[in-house]
Chains A and B, each alone.
Chain A
């Protein structure tokens, strides 16, 4: 049978926040009996957009990028919150996790049940709350969530398919879930999560000739770790190179740069987070 899943593409999220605003629009001031008490106007982030800046302005050579990751209730199939709730939180047949606003009344303890920090305590209504996939709209026949509808880039898409098809798609397209080691079986999948989770080593190759410094295009740049080649790149017209999808805190690397007519240059880098080496003069 078909169930709901969410696919988030980190590379396409612009932090426009239309999904968070649409969700506030839907829940703040609105009571959806059987689904949700009104959302607090402030303080809750049922959809919470994480962000990460990678790289630096090194000297006068900036090289950075920024990733945004909308997170929400993962609609886990093995949800710790359901296990703890004693029936106050339910798994619907369509995959949606729903906190019953009546049965969960007063259950502040459920806030800590979510390892992702996505259950929020509503003090006014004394009820734990989470993003429930706009279940009341789905039950009215909506084919998308408010966040999906408002997303201008398609970075957030609710899809209704069989689990096996979803699994296949995840495998084929390299989709990941948040913290798979928790084994909660989330139904929210991420594409291009490396933009947030991994790091890069970058730099700009230059060389001087006749008193003029120019960018070096076409330099061969090799990334080595423990003497082994990890990756190879060619500098672009700005002399820029970038090795991406490296693990954070993965330690010492060596970068070898070779360009026609120039002596080979070796630079060392230690990876904690992404690093822009800046200008490297051959």
Chain B
């Protein structure tokens, strides 16, 4: 016996001892072993050595040599390779290479080989001590919500409470900023967003899906009745039946229709965690199956991606700027913050909980001498918190206000002429436009007043104040873009003009930058932990940020989608119902990628006939969403499966529903606000970097399962389970992410599991990241810690200059000169919105409705579900026993309509009608009303598409056209509506369904007239 064979036989013997020991020691492992009766063989392919393992009724027998009739085999090419691969600790790169080189293989039924591999892996982690035992006998675990980390206390298998984390003395140190003689340091605790603190109520929601279900009138082998989706009820089925129906259908779709027939669609967010995230497990699964992708529009970036990039680049931040060091610079050097369509107190920097709140609170200290002004049609939560002048332009018009500010600067010499001369190009052309030299219309404060309703004198006063001060311009919730006005019909113009204003005032000069203290904290950015967009276990190098760093650090099998077809998301209903759609790419590699047009169907691909839908948010997050109702009822969709945690939204339009559990019922690992990719160093918005081992706190409710488990089970009949899981369990993937990060240098695996979290100490003052754009201001090489733009995208010299063709801030954009797009001219010009005061529809629908992101829920997360949030009167209000969504409108507009507080009103236009509870207010000027988008509840009172919705889905009413013809950009943050007291009628025909009925009427009459040739 050679040394290798001896070594391998010893390892295999050790494995059998390990399995038996863990069986003896741990009940959970005993239970696992009782799941299957079979014999597995581990052997070398040359049959030189082997060991068999017999699993029977929960017992294990094992013997040396080759079993005469094993049910499955795990084979190494030879003993040297086998010994190398099995010798702990596991070397993942070696494992992956062994599979790629075909020296490690499995043989046998997928279910058995996968079960065996996962059981072997499980034997290593069985009995690990997770969580901290408290004095009262409860266990304390950690987890991560979309709104911050939590301690989660569990007793008798039930969640008792969730709290933010008060940092311990031995947790990583905090930072201190010295500004104008004031020492500023954040409190030693984490914060939660309201939807984070709400989490317990959505775990135990009565709307949880607790078992797989089938639509009552769906028969996969008979009548499928797609027209009844959204109307019919459901019956409980077993997991076996559900998996069989789904996998049979996947095979049938491929067999009968060919590649492209199956599409997958997910929301823009998911429950937190790097393994269970949609960019992780779902992408690996979808790539393994082969699916038509639904190509997302750049959601909250929109105007920045399609507009701002042409002025300054930053495509790898989707058009938003770098933000390093801005908290310190702002506090030390800035005189005035101009908050423009920005409400960080409501939007929490997306995932940043209330972390920015304490920093903005510092602005109230008169010693800092920083004033704030707010420009937003709604007197938003940030304006409420930080006193300052409020400007209330009509929605979609503040582009004109910005131009008038620039006009005043030009006329009165209040801009940085030297900077404009040395750091920008094309100013003269834009200046001529401002002065009206090319179109005869000077963009004066008086000119803008007609558009915006903001008094000219106020705009002039702001322009003069701004022109004399050091100003942080804060557009959008992140302070450097994101959300706000970039999502309406003039969003591209708005983002563009924001960059132009910054360029005129010396972007990068001390005190002159973009930001509102939401991003830019002085943390340690050299400590690596992957962001969620780095793709976790997806293996997807094309559609996640994995190639940047995670792929090298966490070797895994790459996954590639064999389907070339993609659907532009905002046109998905048209793609399905009309069979064609066109869109433009959201790819951050360069400015020019956005000009790539793509069409559906892709040449040679099958049209989509099956939809694998993940979650149910679309009806309230896309626009004019009765189109989706129509799509779901189309016979072109032969099969719809929805994998969801709650029975809401689109889940009610599925044929088969697969119940997923929440992140509190599975295991995962993550960093708070760790975005990666397009949100590189998203932790900048936190006061402390917090990395969390997301312990499974309770058993999944009912028969709900983790997404990982569901995908793995579906993969089994398709022979893909070992490819999907790499033989690992979720906890093994969590450990692989831990090993890929810098955590092992500072905290052991066992300590992390027990303690639950790790705080990365703040960076030493001397090592803090430099201030963004300071390098540009000082004509130095770029020195902030972001590897973007791509090296090839510099013009003169690597790291010198911006991503634009000139390397400078471009008023006259070179990248737009090469395309002839009348809606996006090379200089930014004001073009009024289609749905605005100039619209022909304005007479019938005279209110401009704003639909920003909600203050309390996170998109659909946290809303509905009988959650705690329903008790917040500014979120929903109970009228006659039903929790209605709030519609705010100017008190005089309300009085004119006879509307009082909490009256039920019908908010409507041709696209649909939504019943809301009215809230008359002075927070809006005349002619503007306000209701949050993203209600989780879609509740048509009659037939979907033909009746009023009382769930609050205001996106039923918003326009779905892209901002411009040559972009794929949401424009739905503003719509024209009428609001009136509800007359209690429930019928309301949407134009989508009216057109459908008209179509079928025409078809019927043609048929009756025998003008349609028989098939």
Contact = CB atoms under 8 A, between A and B. Distances in A.
Interface stretch (A83-91, A145-153, A181-189, A252-260): A145-153
Contacts of A206: 455, 457
B436 to A, nearest CB: 17
Interface in A114-146: 140, 146
A33 interface: no
Interface in B451-474: 453-458, 460-462, 464-465
Contacts of B353: 152
Interface centre among B160, B455, B460 (most CB of A within 10 A): B455
B667 interface: no
Contacts of A56: 891, 922
Contact of B197 (A12, A150, A239): A150
B897 interface: no
A22 B871 contact: no
A87 to B, nearest CB: 28
Contact of B460 (A15, A30, A214): A214
Contact of A15 (B358, B361, B384, B465): B384
Interface stretch (B264-272, B387-395, B930-938): B387-395
Nearest to B191: A152
A161 interface: no
B1001 interface: no
Interface residues of A, number: 49
Interface in A1-40: 12, 14-18, 20-22, 24-26, 28-30
Contacts of A239: 457, 461
Contact of B166 (A15, A42, A61, A149): A149
Interface in A42-70: 42-43, 45, 53, 55-57, 60-66
Contacts of A100: none
A263 interface: no
B78 interface: no
Contacts of B385: 14
A97 interface: no
Interface stretch (B51-59, B198-206, B631-639, B710-718): B198-206
A237 interface: yes
Given A14-B384, A55-B922, A60-B455, A21 B197 contact: yes
Contacts of B868: 21, 24-25, 28, 41
Contact of B163 (A14, A150, A152, A204): A150
A61 B454 CA distance: 8
B678 interface: no
Interface in B928-980: none
Contacts of A146: 161, 163
Interface string B885-921: 0000011000000000000000000000000000001
Given A18-B192, A237-B461, A26 B161 contact: yes
Place the interface of chain B in its size category: 35 or more
A240 B390 CA distance: 11
A212 B389 CA distance: 21
A180 to B, nearest CB: 27
B553 interface: no
A60 B164 CA distance: 43
B690 to A, nearest CB: 15
Contacts of B354: 16, 18, 152-153
The secondary-structure label for the interface of chain B is mixed
Interface string B362-396: 00000000000000000101001101011010000
Contacts of A55: 922
Nearest to B890: A57
B27 interface: no
Given A21-B197, A60-B454, A240 B871 contact: no
A234 to B, nearest CB: 15
Given A21-B868, A153-B358, A214-B460, A57 B161 contact: no
B925 A60 contact: yes
B645 interface: no
B1014 interface: no
A60 B166 contact: no
A62 to B, nearest CB: 5
B878 interface: yes
B866 interface: yes
Nearest to A44: B871
B923 interface: yes
A239 B453 CA distance: 18
B461 A66 contact: no
A213 interface: yes
Interface in B417-455: 449, 453-455
A29 B160 CA distance: 8
A99 interface: no
B926 interface: yes
Interface string B273-317: 000000000000000000000000000000000000000000000
A17 B385 CA distance: 14
B345 interface: yes
Contacts of A150: 163-164, 191-192, 197
A190 B990 CA distance: 51
A65 B384 contact: yes
Contacts of B187: 154
Given A152-B191, A153-B358, A238-B461, A61 B198 contact: no
Nearest to B381: A14
A202 to B, nearest CB: 12
Given A20-B871, A66-B379, A214 B457 contact: yes
A199 interface: no
Given A60-B455, A66-B384, A215-B457, A20 B872 contact: yes
Given A14-B357, A17-B872, A53 B160 contact: no
A57 B389 contact: no
Interface in A66-99: 66
For the complex of A and B, the 9 pairs showing the least CB-CB separation, nearest first, are A152-B354, A21-B197, A215-B461, A152-B357, A24-B868, A152-B191, A66-B384, A215-B457, A213-B457
21 contacts: A14-B381, A15-B381, A18-B191, A18-B197, A21-B197, A22-B197, A25-B201, A28-B201, A41-B866, A42-B871, A43-B878, A53-B921, A57-B392, A60-B454, A61-B455, A64-B923, A150-B192, A204-B458, A213-B456, A214-B460, A217-B461
Interface of A: 12, 14-18, 20-22, 24-26, 28-30, 41-43, 45, 53, 55-57, 60-66, 140, 146, 149-150, 152-154, 204, 206, 212-215, 217, 237-240, 279
Given A14-B357, A25-B201, A66-B923, 7 more contacts: A20-B872, A24-B201, A43-B871, A61-B455, A63-B390, A64-B379, A204-B458
